[in-house]
Structure 1
Amino acid sequence: MPLNTFNPPVRPSMGTGIAPEVTLRKAQFGDGYTQNSPAGLNHIRQVVTLKWETMSLAEARQIETFLIGQGGYIPFYYTLNGESTPRKWTCESWALTDGHPSKIQATFRENFTTAT
């Protein structure tokens, strides 16, 4: 089954937070020595916090509807600002602020699964 592509009705606001999530295997030895190694091929995963701060309620609901449809576990494609190739993401956490303007904040985690 092909993955959906997230195309929000407006671009995210400036200030997208990008933080790597690094997974390592660590072996601690009795003399205080530690040996680290990467936990798999994709041991560095990007985690981004996107904000849309000035949008209509209809635009905010469009983003919310997409995220609800992905259920927090179904990967989707999204291209970050400044990148030319989409990456695969999941989104387990988002919040909508109903107002004039409406706002949404969502946290996307890079996804490396090969099948859905």
Structure 2
Amino acid sequence: MPAPTFTPPMRPSAGTQITPEVNLRKAPFGDGYGQASPSGLNHIRRIVRLEWAYLSLDEAQQIDTFLTGRGGYRAFTYTLNGEAQPRRWTCAEWHIEDGHPARVTATFREYFGPEV
């Protein structure tokens, strides 16, 4: 069964932070010299911090319900702004600020594993 698609009620606010997490094997040889190579096929994972700053409480709860339903470990698809194809993500960290307007922040980690 394919991963569900995350479709928030609106696009994230400006300022999405994308941080690559690079996994390398490193071998130091002394005198400051070393050699590095990628650790696996998918050695660069994107970590994305998204924020929805102007939501109604119902819209914030819609995002919370989706992320809670994925349990922090089950993948979903989401297309970043400006990208043509969706990527697979997990989200084990999000925060809801209950106010008028409500605010949601979430950290998505690119996922390369099998369907869970």
TM-score of the two chains, using structure 2 as the length reference? 0.95
Q: Which residue of 1 aligns with 2:103?
A: 103
Q: How much is the aligned-residue C-alpha RMSD, in angstroms?
A: 1.0
Q: Which residue of 1 aligns with 2:16?
A: 16
Once the two structures are TM-superposed, the CA of residue 84 in structure 1 deviates from its matched residue by 1.7
Q: Map 1:1-116 onto structure 2 (within 5 A).
A: 1-116=1-116
Deviation digits for residues 9-35 of structure 1 (CA, Å, limit 9, x no counterpart): 111111101111100001122443211
One-letter amino acid of the structure 2 residue matched with residue 59 of structure 1: E
Deviation digits for residues 61-104 of structure 1 (CA, Å, limit 9, x no counterpart): 00011001111100100011111211000011100000000000
One-letter amino acid of the structure 1 residue matched with residue 11 of structure 2: R
Q: Secondary structure at the match of 1:5?
A: coil
Instruction: Tell me which stretches of 4 or more aligned residues in structure 1 moved more than 6 Å.
Output: none
User: Following the alignment from structure 1 to structure 2, what is the Cα–Cα distance between the partners of residues 115 and 58?
Assistant: 29
User: Following the alignment from structure 2 to structure 1, what is the Cα–Cα distance between the partners of residues 37 and 12?
Assistant: 35
User: Following the alignment from structure 1 to structure 2, what is the Cα–Cα distance between the partners of residues 27 and 35?
Assistant: 5
User: Following the alignment from structure 1 to structure 2, what is the Cα–Cα distance between the partners of residues 24 and 6?
Assistant: 30
